[in-house]
Every structure is written in structure tokens, then in C-alpha cells.
Structure 1
Amino acid sequence: MIPKVTVIIPFYNCLYVQQAVESALAQTYPEIEVIVVDDGSTEHMDLLNPYVDRIRYIRKINGGTASALNAGIREAKGDYIAWLSSDDFYLPNKTARQMSFMLERGAWISSTNFNFVNDRNLVLMEAPNFSFTSNLELLDRLKRECPINGCTIMMKRQLLEHVGMFNEEIKYTQDYDMWCRVVLAGYEFHYLHDILLHYRYHPNMGTLKHKDALKREIGTLQAIYGDRLEQRRQVLLTGGWQP
């Protein structure tokens, strides 16, 4: 029996949610469930009407992306968890290709390459600086930035039992916090260079709207994790422990 994958789509007033849902439902991988977590939306909910019999729909009061992801994870039936923002979309072979990649390596978590697209789905460019060649490089880069796009992630659900859920007190950089916790717990991140996601760059995206708050959160997390990431890197350099 092949593993089941749960794709969680946090949704809040997003005009593009229909494309995200369609891309998740169009995956070539056969064992997949799609959970849409409506984080207290007040508009565009009607875009989900054509899919109500093919998705699991959860509505909750507004609490932010981390709370929406956690709500989906608690309801997930999959052995693996994937996250798709409501303004992005998967390529059809994303789940199948990434699952094959992970099973070949015994990976617990992986990320992939992606393209930037605009509001009309035109490709702007291949993602720069979102790759890494080893966990040593990843540890070094995490001290300064986040070279991982959360919507390219696939991870074993079991991993969350070891490192905990997304931190709901972090409003915009809950992904950066999670990846730091994962590598500090000793888990190896695997990177697949295939482009399997289209990441939408548009004026209303949260990364632009909340740029200043996001920078403040990043600075706080760097202060929390910087020394520990370097200590972990030194452990790996000397052939230290793995989980």
C-alpha cells in the first residue's frame, strides 16, 4: 500500500483559492486528500462550492496561518503532510515525484524548486536562492535567511510528533521557526531540484503586505536560534549524532 498524502490549504479571503484547490485535486498521485482550512474568511468562500464533495472543508475563527495549518494537521488522515498556500498551485506531478524522491532516500522531510508566477500565471523566473546542497549549508543559511519555501514541503506526519506543531504565536514566519526546530532536532532536510510549484507574486501577497512585521519576526527567530544552529553545524562537522 502506498502512503497517503494530505494537502492542507489555509484559506483567508483569497481570490486564487480555486486554482490552488484544482491543482491539488489534479495530482497524479492516487492516495491524496485535500483539506481546505477556512481561517475566518469573509469573501470568496463561494469559489469552493464546486469542490465540496472532493475536499474536506474546515471553517474556524481567524487565527493566522499557523493555526490553520495545525487545524488541518489535526484532522489529516495522511501519512505525509504537504502545505499549499491558497494563492499558489502545484504542478500535476508534484506529489508523485516528491514522494518517490523521499521514499528512495528514506527522507522524513523535503523541499523542492519552484517558479515565481504573476497574477495571470505567467512565469516570471525560477526561484533564486531557495536551494541547498547539504544540511551543513542549510544550517549555515538558516542563521541568516529561510532558503525553504513552505509550500514545496512534504514531511512525515510522524515528524510533527517529535518536533511539535507550528507555533501559533508566530504570525508570519511560522515556517522559518519550524525548519529551525526540525534541523536542530537532528533531522536531515532533502532538497529536490525539480520545479514542482508555482509561487504567485502579486500585490496582495502576505510577504509584501506584512514586510516590516515579517522582518521583525525573522530577527527575533535569528536571535533565538542563531547560536544553536551554529552549534548543530559544528556537531555535524565532527560527525555527531543523528536522531
Structure 2
Amino acid sequence: MMPKVSIVIPFYNCPYVDQAIASALAQTYPNVEVIVVDDGSNQHSERIVPFLDRTHYIGKANGGTASALNCGIHMASGEYVAWLSSDDLFKPNKLAVQIPFMQENEALISYTPFDKIDGTGQLLQSSIAVRFPNQAELIRSFLDGDAINGCTVVMKKELCAQVGMFNEKLNYTHDYDLWMRVALAGIPIHFLDESLIMYRWHDQMGTLKHSKVIKLETRSTRKRYCKQLKGLVKRWEASPWLPPL
């Protein structure tokens, strides 16, 4: 049997949540559980109702995306965990492609490019990603910002036991923070060059509404790990063998 994958969907007042859940349930991969974590919503919760018999629903007080993700991961029974934002979509073959890739590469974590869509689902841009030749260049990129879209990531649940959960003190850069901790633990972050999700760009998205705060939090998060990351890049560059992504 293929290993179970837990898809965690954190939800807070998002009108697209039904589409996200439907895309998770439409996976061609045969062994999936879908966990919807309602982070204290007071709008659009009725959109979840049609899916209650096919998902695990968790209601909790509002604590932010990192809190909702951690809640879902703690409840997950899968060997692998995938994060799907409530306004984004998984392509039907996402897990059927990404899980075998991870098994073949013995990867604890991997990410992919993504397609960008608008509020109506129309394609704006396809296969968006910064493609790095090796781990050293990926790690170097963290000194500038986060080049990984969190919803493209699939990771083994055991990874959280090694590097810790998402930092709930961070409202926006909890994923960036986790990737840097993974890198500093010496764990390769693998790249599968196939777009497997659709990232929705719309007027109410947090990336636009809170852009100034996100920039400040990104700066402080980067500063926390900057010295360690620079040292790690030097060690990778001194190695006679730089592992590919």
C-alpha cells in the first residue's frame, strides 16, 4: 500500500475553502486524509459542510496559520504531510507525482513550482519557481528571502520531530523559518520541477493586505539565522560534492 498522506487545510474566513477541499479530495493518489482546521472563522464556514463526511474537521480558537497547521499536523495519521492554503488548489496528480519522487530520492521534504491563478481561477502565469543548481545556492537564497511556496511542499511527519513545528509566534513567516531550520539541520530540500498546485492571487489575500508587516517579519526572521546560514553556505561550497536539489 502507498504511504498515507495527510493534507492539512488551515481555514479562516476564506470564500474559496470549498474549492480547496474539493481539490484535495480529488487527488488520484489512493491513500489520503484531508484535515480542515477552522481557525476561529466567523464567515464562510457553511462552505465546509458538504465535505464533513469525507474530511476530518477541527474547530479551534483563532491562533494564526502556524497554530492551525501545527494542530492539523498533530492530528495527522499520515507518514507524509502536505499543506494546502484555503484559497489555493492542488492539481489532481500532485501527490501521485510528488510522493514517488520523494520515495525515490529518500527525501524528507520537497517542493515544486506553482501556477498562479486569479480570483476566478483563470491562469495568470505557469510554472513559477526559482531553479537552483544545488543546495548551497538554495540556502544562499534564504539570505534574501523565501523562494519556496509553502503549499508546494510535502514533508515527512517525522521531520517535525527533528527540527520542530511551525513557530506560532510568527504570523506570516512561519514557513520561511521552518525551511531555514531544516537547512541548518543538514537536511536536503529536494526540488521536483513540475508545477502541481495553483496559487490564487486575489484582492483579499494576506500577502497583499499585510505586505508591509510581512516585509518587517521577513527581515527579523532572516536576521535570526543569517550568521548560521552564511557559515552553512561556506561549508557546502567547500565540499567536493554539492548535492543537487
1:87: Cα distance to partner? 0.1
Matched residue type, 1:201: W
Task: Select between 130-139 and 75-84 the one with higher mean Cα deviation.
Answer: 130-139
CA distance in 1, matches of 2:128, 2:144: 16
Q: Does structure 2 retain, via aligned residues, the 8 Å contact 1:130–1:149?
A: no
Counting only pairs closer than 5 Å after superposition, residues 18-37 of structure 1 correspond to structure 2 as: 18-37=18-37
CA distance in 2, matches of 1:218, 1:129: 19
The match for 2:17 is 17
The match for 1:232 is 232
Deviations 1:100-149 (A, max 9, x none): 11111111100011110001111101254443332111111000011100
CA distance in 1, matches of 2:132, 2:83: 20
The match for 1:170 is 170
Matched residue type, 1:178: L
RMSD (Å), alpha carbons: 1.5
CA distance in 1, matches of 2:24, 2:128: 24
The match for 2:202 is 202
Counting only pairs closer than 5 Å after superposition, residues 12-161 of structure 1 correspond to structure 2 as: 12-161=12-161
The match for 1:213 is 213
CA distance in 2, matches of 1:79, 1:240: 33
With normalisation by structure 2, the TM-score equals: 0.96
CA distance in 1, matches of 2:122, 2:150: 21
CA distance in 1, matches of 2:232, 2:201: 34
1:239: Cα distance to partner? 2.6
The ranges of structure 1 where at least 4 consecutive aligned residues each deviate by more than 4 angstroms after the TM superposition are none
Matched residue type, 2:24: A
Matched residue type, 1:50: P
Matched residue type, 1:183: A
What SS class does the counterpart of residue 194 from structure 1 fall into?
coil
Q: Does structure 2 retain, via aligned residues, the 8 Å contact 1:111–1:191?
A: yes
CA distance in 1, matches of 2:42, 2:20: 18
CA distance in 1, matches of 2:48, 2:14: 11
Matched residue type, 1:145: G
CA distance in 2, matches of 1:147, 1:45: 32
Q: Does structure 1 retain, via aligned residues, the 8 Å contact 2:112–2:129?
A: no
With normalisation by structure 1, the TM-score equals: 0.97
CA distance in 2, matches of 1:240, 1:168: 38
CA distance in 1, matches of 2:126, 2:149: 13
CA distance in 2, matches of 1:200, 1:51: 21
What SS class does the counterpart of residue 8 from structure 2 fall into?
strand
Percent of counterpart pairs with the same letter?
Answer: 49
CA distance in 2, matches of 1:235, 1:226: 14
**2:1 equivalent to 1:4:** no
CA distance in 2, matches of 1:40, 1:141: 35
1:15: Cα distance to partner? 0.2
Shift in CA distance, 128/91, structure 1 to aligned 2, threshold 3 Å: closer
Q: Does structure 1 retain, via aligned residues, the 8 Å contact 2:113–2:128?
A: no
1:240: Cα distance to partner? 9.0
Q: Does structure 2 retain, via aligned residues, the 8 Å contact 1:132–1:147?
A: no
What SS class does the counterpart of residue 196 from structure 2 fall into?
strand
CA distance in 2, matches of 1:49, 1:146: 34
CA distance in 2, matches of 1:35, 1:128: 27
Q: Does structure 1 retain, via aligned residues, the 8 Å contact 2:114–2:128?
A: no
Count of residue pairs the alignment pairs up? 242
1:221: Cα distance to partner? 1.2
